[in-house]
A and B are shown apart, each in its own frame.
Chain A
Amino acid sequence: MTRAVNETTVKVRAPADSAFDVQRLRADFPILAEQVHGKPLVYLDNAATAQKPRAVIDAIAHYYRHDNANVHRAVHTLSERATAAYEGARTKIRKFLNAASDKEIIYVRGATEGINLVAASWGRANVRAGDEVLITAMEHHSNIVPWQLLCEQVGARLRVVPISDEGELVMEDFERLLTGRTRLVAIVHCSNALGTINPVEQIIERAHAAGAVVLLDGAQAVPHMAVDVRRLDCDFYVFSGHKLYGPTGIGVLYGKERLLDAMPPYQGGGDMIKTVSFDKTTYNDLPYKFEAGTPHIAGAVGLGVAIDYVTAVGLDAIAAHEHELLVHATKILSGVPGIRFVGTARDKAGIVSFTLKGVHPHDLGTVLDHQGVAIRAGHHCAMPVMQRFGLPATARASFALYNTREEVDALVQGIRHAQELLG
């Protein structure tokens, strides 16, 4: 018997009432019971990767235990199940982003591969010598280097919108740098190093008016806010599954169908073709044209369940909870002597980046780890941001739906401990 896909995915409890019960949600994440150096784990490195709910872990195990086969290939039952699960997840992603069609949802390894796909395929077909690609000073390396590579290859110019001392885009400079030469605007929706949420609606509108195509890097945005690609009217949107409580190695490129249709393939191989002969190969239709080779089927299934999970909890409720943590963290961290916040934008996600006088972020990271508190210390793959603020590194705490005020308090306690030790 073919088991329907929806039965193989683990049921996600809808909240019984509208109240956001963080303790009940925490019970959904097995790893939160871990002890680190004899202390309860306080996981505040969610911008690097989020932990996975049991529903996602179980769905992946269930897929391998019951449904595993290659997709789009065979007529046997397991292949049908695997294909249904894989394509069912694509439909969930399409609904999650409110895209118009499943054809617009391309599976990739993560946001990085999504950007590289657009740079290599759309970029080489559309960006010419003398054209410009516009990015910002707060981009992750993954939204800088692919464009540098493209610009070097075709002789185009990379322009960079500067950021203010608060870590906000300088919109006057954006307006100035956006010209008739701008082919593409590639911009982060929410900054991983600063937490800044960019005014992307305004940027997209202005870019379109100037005749440019817009790619949004949504790696940090999708876990924290509802994203509607049709309302935004962005041309491309990328995100990674693992920051959205899903598995690593799976992510999504959304692209408008007419753009994707006109783009040459990114990689050649199986599944992306209709017919192959040595004279002529016909490429497959969307979305398969961009999915050469056996994909990360279990990853797609897990991502679909992660989307079920956050949808059941409610992205608005998650955003409100994380905002409350951000406000609490900002308030009590402000009382820590010698602290400097890096990134104080008016519109911010649950990310707190900071430095401490006399305590290097790396030492803070080690001391906090001994308290069970996991944070990120470093340049956050955004070296230009660090250069902008004249810092080698910052410490960063980033929040997820399962974090609590008590965990923020544990962070502050750990910081004071590090200051006593190293100060």
Chain B
Amino acid sequence: MTQDLRALYEEVILDHNRRPRNFRRLPEGSNRHAIGHNPLCGDQLRIDLRVEDGVIKDVGFEGAGCAISTASASLMTESIKGKTVEEAEVLFRRVHDLLTKQGAAGDLGKLQVLAGVRDYPARVKCATLPWHTLEAALKNTAAPVTTE
């Protein structure tokens, strides 16, 4: 495999695609939801959150997506669990910058693997879809969000 393709499909991405974390519909008690849709590729994603006292106590996602969107969603659920709503919103903006702005600085830990997507303009929306959906869920937006 060519080296630059490996930069997109990092081992962490492949692992989260094969075994997505928190890939489930949240049971009773989840109180914030949103549905995301990427009309370019048809991918759909549902995110459920259980937010108590301003803290994300639990999160689950469902949907059919490509490796990039599935891994992005999986990594996201891991990273937001236990964070406050405000912290999650800050994280959303930082990841968004990482994915869309060249030279975006900052150490996002494990999420840094998503930076490889930036060089694939056609695939950036795959990675941002779960995050836009998260933002909608944090605001409990009823209408489905799209990447367009």
Closest beta carbon of chain B to A87's beta carbon, Å:
40
Of A370, A379, A422, the contact of B42 (CB 8 Å cutoff): A379
Interface flag for B77 (CB, 8 Å): no
Of A38, A367, A392, A422, the contact of B64 (CB 8 Å cutoff): A392
B9 touches A422 (CB 8 A): yes
Interface flag for B44 (CB, 8 Å): yes
| Stretch touching chain A among B54-62, B65-73, B99-107, B138-146 | B65-73
B36-52 contacts to A, CB under 8 A, are: 40-44
A383 touches B42 (CB 8 A): yes
Of A361, A367, A379, the contact of B5 (CB 8 Å cutoff): A367
Chain A residues whose CB sits within 8 angstroms of the CB of B41 once the complex forms: 361-362, 377-379, 392-393
Known: A362-B123, A363-B68, A421-B1. A392 touches B44 (CB 8 A): yes
A386 touches B67 (CB 8 A): no
A378 touches B42 (CB 8 A): yes
A362 touches B66 (CB 8 A): yes
Known: A366-B123, A392-B41, A392-B44. 20 other contacts (CB 8 A): A37-B4, A38-B2, A360-B64, A360-B65, A360-B66, A360-B70, A361-B41, A362-B43, A362-B66, A363-B9, A363-B67, A366-B122, A367-B9, A383-B42, A392-B43, A393-B42, A393-B43, A421-B9, A422-B9, A422-B67
Closest beta carbon of chain A to B77's beta carbon, Å:
19
Closest beta carbon of chain B to A157's beta carbon, Å:
26
Interface flag for B14 (CB, 8 Å): yes
Known: A379-B41, A392-B43. A362 touches B9 (CB 8 A): no
Query: B5-47 toward A: CB 8 Å interface, digit per residue (1/0)?
Result: 1001100001001000000000000000000000011111000
Query: A355-397 toward B: CB 8 Å interface, digit per residue (1/0)?
Result: 0000011110011001000000111000100100001110000
**What's the Cα separation between A360 and B18 when bound, in Å?**
12
Interface flag for A417 (CB, 8 Å): yes
**What's the Cα separation between A38 and B3 when bound, in Å?**
12
A-B contacts, 17 listed (Cβ < 8 Å): A38-B2, A360-B65, A361-B66, A362-B41, A362-B68, A363-B66, A363-B67, A363-B68, A366-B122, A370-B2, A370-B4, A377-B41, A378-B42, A391-B42, A392-B44, A421-B1, A422-B17
Chain A residues whose CB sits within 8 angstroms of the CB of B68 once the complex forms: 362-363
The 3 A-B pairs at the shortest CB distance, nearest first, are namely: A392-B42, A360-B66, A362-B66
Interface size class, chain B: 20 to 34
Interface flag for B134 (CB, 8 Å): no
**What's the Cα separation between A370 and B8 when bound, in Å?**
12
**What's the Cα separation between A417 and B5 when bound, in Å?**
12
Of A366, A383, A392, the contact of B8 (CB 8 Å cutoff): A366
Chain B residues whose CB sits within 8 angstroms of the CB of A366 once the complex forms: 5, 8, 120, 122-123
Query: B95-135 toward A: CB 8 Å interface, digit per residue (1/0)?
Result: 00000000000000000000000001011001000000000
Closest beta carbon of chain A to B85's beta carbon, Å:
30
**What's the Cα separation between A422 and B19 when bound, in Å?**
12
Chain A residues whose CB sits within 8 angstroms of the CB of B122 once the complex forms: 366
Best-buried of A37, A362, A417 by chain B (most CB within 10 Å): A362
B126: nearest residue on chain A (CB-CB)?
Answer: A362
B42 touches A386 (CB 8 A): yes
**What's the Cα separation between A363 and B67 when bound, in Å?**
7
Chain A residues whose CB sits within 8 angstroms of the CB of B40 once the complex forms: 378
Chain A residues whose CB sits within 8 angstroms of the CB of B43 once the complex forms: 362, 392-393
Chain B residues whose CB sits within 8 angstroms of the CB of A363 once the complex forms: 9, 66-68
**What's the Cα separation between A391 and B65 when bound, in Å?**
11
A28-71 contacts to B, CB under 8 A, are: 37-38
